[in-house]
């Protein structure tokens, strides 16, 4: 379904590409793991290994990543954290597979602004569709979740002001 929507083009594809370029600004050189990669659109763009419950290069969970300690220079968690029942447990596992100085790049949506955007675009079905989000994240909550990392940067997109933005990117470094 993701790939089908992406292939349609239009503003949805434009924004997905914009979002991916914003994430890529934070990626270091080296081996990357994309946790919760879905159909792998972004995974392919960033040259990562995709980990997902149902598809991806490797089948697996954010709670039990099937790689040895200190394997990756970066781990991405793009539009995944809002789906996790135990995000703290996932952070422990991500930290385990990151090399010292490795980066976690996490991106999450601002659900309320998406609903407004869909309403403005007349996409009524999107407003009420269940996306499986278990909680709404904010930059402050995400920073607290990354307390086991050195938080390097945060950026809301497409605007710098979180309450009006569609997504927030936060980058942490393994100490």
- What is the set of domains in the chain, with CATH numbers? 2-173 (3.40.50.150)
Residues 35 and 83: their CA atoms lie apart, in Å, by: 12
Summarize pLDDT for 57-91 with one digit per residue, the tens.
Answer: 899 999 999 999 999 999 999 999 999 999 999 99
Phi, psi of 59 (to 5 degrees): -85, 135
Summarize pLDDT for 150-161 with one digit per residue, the tens.
Answer: 999 999 999 999
Residues 133 and 151: their CA atoms lie apart, in Å, by: 24
**Selected residue with higher pLDDT from 111 and 47:** 47
CA 151 to chain centre: 16
* Exposure of 62 in the CB half-sphere (CA atoms within 13 A): 25
């Amino acid at each position: 379904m993701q790939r089908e929507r992406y292939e349609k083009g239009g503003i949805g594809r434009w924004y997905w590409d914009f979002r991916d370029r914003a994430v890529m600004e934070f990626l270091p050189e080296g081996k990357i793991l994309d946790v919760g990669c879905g159909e792998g659109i972004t995974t392919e763009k960033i040259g990562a290994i995709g980990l997902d419950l149902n598809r991806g290069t490797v089948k697996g969970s954010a709670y039990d990543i099937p790689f040895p300690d200190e394997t990756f220079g970066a781990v991405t968690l793009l539009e995944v954290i809002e789906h996790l029942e135990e995000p703290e447990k996932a952070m422990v596992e991500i930290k385990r597979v990151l090399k010292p100085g490795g980066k976690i790049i996490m991106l999450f949506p601002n659900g309320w602004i998406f609903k407004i955007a869909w309403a403005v675009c007349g996409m009524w079905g999107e407003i009420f569709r269940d996306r499986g989000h278990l909680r709404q994240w904010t930059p402050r909550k995400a920073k607290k979740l990354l307390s086991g990392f050195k938080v390097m940067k945060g950026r809301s997109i497409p605007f710098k002001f979180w309450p009006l933005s569609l997504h927030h990117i936060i980058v942490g470094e393994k100490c």
